[in-house]
Amino acid sequence: IDKTVSARDARPTAQLDDYADLLGRRHIDRIYRKAADLSHLHVAHVSSTFYGGGVAELLDGLSLLMNHVGITTGWRVIQGAPDFFSITKKMHNALQGGSINLTDLKKQHYEDIVYKNALRNHLDHHNMVVVHDPQPLPLVQHYHRKGPWIWQCHVDLTAPNVELWAYLRSFIEQYDGVVVSLDEYQQPLETPQRTIPPAIDPFSIKNKELSTQEVNERLAHYDIPTDLPLVVQVSRFDRWKDPEGVIEAFKLATKEIDATLVLLGNVATDDPEGKEVYESLLDEQGERIYILSVEDTALVNALQRRAAVVLQKSLREGFGLTVTEAMWKGSAVIGGNVGGIRRQIEDGKTGFLVDSVEEAAERIVQLVRDPDLRERLGQAARTTVRDRFLLPHMLERYLDLFAGFET
Ligand code: UDP
């Protein structure tokens, strides 16, 4: 099979040319030129899940787009039993500011599992390797490198746990480059750092245009009522996403307005806490509160489109692709005033930022009552995403990063 041809002809994966109407021909041609200079690269992305969560979401689109522009790019996923992912989830939580009991046993287990993955993943012939997040981080020490190794961290590094950071740093500094999602996440490190904000694929099932009928059909399929305005949060079931705060804010708001809340979540394979968080919320199910744990990308799309208000009330958020997705759909978004959400939403112009349950409730009331305001914020939000957070923007920054290692 001629992979180049089959990849180019394949649908529904978007190609760079599909973005010409959105970004302009010159922009697209500039990216093609940069990619042509790097066609000798053989890139491998390594992450810890093919599915669930923002990293899988963006690698899905990004790795295909890299192939479309002529850079041979693969995506490997490390394997581990639940106890491995339990340790790495604790690390994730501690990187976002939580505490951790970092025993020698945990470190040993973490490093052993990564070592096993190194034995069965042959990355010695790739001349560009990008390792995502802490789960596969120690891989770097097990290879004869043919080119640069980059560690990309997607978590909110506003205040990483000091003890954990000191431990991880011994691996991080073996890399040739570090990528974070926002400038303020850069850390004091020997290794050179870059900021590359994530991005979305507007042509994917999650983000493409849907007709009113398609939206109705998806919502009806799950018996989600549309008689009242929908307030929606789509998120992994994770405490950092503050699902309890969302429910509380909704209850406060519905003292003044009538609405239906939908909390849609999924559980990533590398997140063992998800099931517990989901189950802890079920008591809150009610006539106007729907808590759904289903895997349905088109439902995510439909909800983000139909919602009168999309919430992302996170307490920490590396970037927050759900915010980008909803903004792209022209929805009015209320986001927690943290991490990547703060860098996407301009308060009062492209959505609202909130610091408390009470503020979230006030904004829900305001938006439900004011369709013109929703329309205004949503249109401005869509423009922000078009100008900054579509996949070609991210691709170009990657190409610039790769090119920087060439000289
Ligand atoms: N997501 C989904 N179904 C769900 C919940 C989340 O497809 O039920 C997707 C969501 O649309 C987004 C990603 O998972 O693309 C979450 O990325 P984000 O950056 O918001 O958060 P993370 O999970 O990486 O912390």
Q: What is the pLDDT of residues 164-173, one digit of tens each?
A: 999 999 999 9
Q: Is 201 in the pocket of ligand 1 (CB under 6 A)?
A: no
pLDDT at residue number 3: 47
CB of 79 closer than 8 Å to CB of 165: no
User: Atom 17 of ligand 1 has which residue's CA nearest to it?
Assistant: 54
Confidence of residue 1 (pLDDT cuts 50, 70, 90): very low
ipTM of the assembly?
0.98
Answer whether residue 258 shows pLDDT above 70. yes
Mean pLDDT of 298-306: 98
Q: Is 53 in the pocket of ligand 1 (CB under 6 A)?
A: yes
Distance 274 CA to ligand 1 centre (A): 13
User: Atom 6 of ligand 1 has which residue's CA nearest to it?
Assistant: 235
pLDDT at residue number 12: 59
Residue 333, token pair as written in the block:
């978004």
Q: What is the pLDDT of residues 171-227, one digit of tens each?
A: 999 999 999 999 999 999 999 999 999 999 999 999 999 999 999 999 999 999 999
The residue whose CB lies within 8 Å of the most ligand 1 atoms, and thus the one to mutate among 88, 132, 235, is 235
User: Beta strands of 171-225 (E only): which ranges?
Assistant: 177-180, 193-195
> How high does pLDDT run on average in the chain?
95
The ligand 1 atom at the shortest distance from the C-alpha of residue 319 is: 19
**Cα–Cα separations (whole angstroms), residue 151 to 44, 285, 347:** 12, 41, 32
Answer whether residue 9 shows pLDDT above 70. no
Q: Report the candidate in 181, 99, 71 with the shortest Cα–Cα distance to residue 133.
A: 181
User: Atom 9 of ligand 1 has which residue's CA nearest to it?
Assistant: 53
Distance 322 CA to ligand 1 centre (A): 6
Q: Is 264 in the pocket of ligand 1 (CB under 6 A)?
A: yes
Cα–Cα distance for residue pair 334/232, rounded to 1 Å: 10
User: Atom 14 of ligand 1 has which residue's CA nearest to it?
Assistant: 53
